[in-house]
Amino acid sequence: MMRKATGNARKSVHGKARKSGAGGTTTKANGSKRTASASAAVPRILHLHSTFAAGGKELRSVQLINAFGASAAHTIVSGVPERREAAGQISPRVTVRMPDDFPALKGRPTPGRLQKLARAMAGYDLVLTYNWGAMDAVMAHTLFSEAFGLPPLIHHEDGFNEDELRKPKRLRNLYRKIALARSSGLVVPSEVLEEIALEVWDQPMGRVKRIPNGIDVSAFRKVPRHDALRGVIKRPDEKWVGTLAGLRAIKNLPRLVRAFAALPEEWQLVVVGEGDEREAIAEQADRLNVGHRLHMPGFVAEPARYIGLFDIYALSSDSEQFPISVVEAMAAGLPVAAPAVGDLPHMVAEANLAFIAPAGDEEGLAVSLAKLAADAKLRSSIGEANRELAASEYDAAKMIAAYRRLYGSAMGREDWS
């Protein structure tokens, strides 16, 4: 049985597929059923995600799936089967399958396992893979694409986990070079990753496509209600430093707590996200006697509804590439205080550059926060400069059009719409 992903994140998305390939019955939004072979005019796209948690790359994928609408049918596989929260954001108008019996994306890359992965990719029109967690599927495609008549594959890389942050892994880079050899494209969102793809992974320039993340900029112009953020109400006498981040070690949110701690009492720190570091963040706040000013409402969808409640947007990550949350903050007219990691120095308006501290400079981040907190006019002027830049450079329409051209070209459907 196939289950249609809905807009309700609490509903189950663990549908069972009768086949691991593109065959089987698919449920449409109106409840009718049809076989995949009967819908040959609609491209069938297989998404192989390292995880389908509600993070940046996953939500961008959902954004594209929703934008493509009825012009494609999608099968989504998560390398961590229990992490499928992003499925709750898929439009009910879109045809989606989430099979439980697809071969595991993780494991030893033995010939037998890779062959099983390759067989499961047959029958689609396009395969999209995401991050290191799906690299075995990329290798399987390269090794067996001719034998099984596999469709074109496009890989997406959005950054690195903690295990690759400090020191590049030579064997992983070699594996990437080999695995990507027959891919139709390698998509990266940032200049930093583009350089790595070209120089470290030795990918030809024609294969690497840099497509910056984009958002619906107009949605972030609305002034949010004071109670728009679930579980937290902004009082008239409060100011907020806010961030949207997975609560993972690489985000180094205890550093943000320390940088925030010296701000005046009316300032609150709001951390929106879920993850394993929640307790460590709270403990750091308690040690610095700011626990009463820390709010962690968990993951909350639709940032356009509440990010405008923040007065300063802050990051403290050890690594980023092209964080979509920064674009969202810019579109909402916020100044950004953050370390100079990934493309951050290139993303913000020139007026904001002075508040992008050197990577790892906790004192510099604290100084940036203090200066912005002390000057409302400065926050406003920088925020407006960021808003204008977001509108001109990072609107979703440009990003969606670039992906549509890339995917359509790979499938030989240049007029795909």
For 101, counting Cβ atoms within 10 Å of its Cβ (0-12 exposed, 13-18 middle, 19+ buried), the class is: exposed
Domains in the chain: ranges and CATH: 25-214+396-411 (3.40.50.2000), 217-393 (3.40.50.2000)
- Per-residue pLDDT at 53: 87
pLDDT value at position 65? 96
As given in the structure block, the two tokens for residue 143 are 């090794």
- pLDDT of the residue at 2: 37
Q: Are 39 and 10 in contact (CB under 8 A)?
A: no
Which parts of the chain sit beneath pLDDT 70? 1-40, 161-168, 417
HEC-encoded secondary structure of the chain: CCCCCCCCCCCCCCCCCCCCCCCCEEECCCCCEEEHHHHCCCCEEEEEECCCCCCHHHHHHHHHHHHHHHHCEEEEEECCCCCCHHHHHCCCCCCEECCCCCCCCCCCCCHHHHHHHHHHHCCCCEEEEECHHHHHHHHHHHHHHHHHCCCCEEEECCCCCHHHHCCCCHHHHHHHHHHHHHCCEEEECCHHHHHHHHHCCCCCCCCEEECCCCECHHHHHCCCCCCCCCCCCCCCCCEEEEEECCCCHHHCHHHHHHHHCCCCCCEEEEEECCCCCHHHHHHHHHHCCCHHHEECCCCCCCHHHCHHHCCEEECCCCCCCCCHHHHHHHHCCCCEEEECCCCHHHHCCHHHHHHEECCCCHHHHHHHHHHHHCCHHHHHHHHHHHHHHHHHHCEHHHHHHHHHHHHHHHHCCCCCC
pTM assigned to the model: 0.74
Instruction: Please list, in sequence order, all residues whose beta carbon lies within 8 angstroms of the beta carbon of residue 299, skipping any fewer than 6 positions away.
Output: 54, 85, 272, 273, 274
pLDDT digits 0-9 by tens, 93-118: 999 999 999 999 999 999 999 999 99
Sequence-separated (6 or more) residues with CB below 8 Å from residue 255: 316, 362, 365
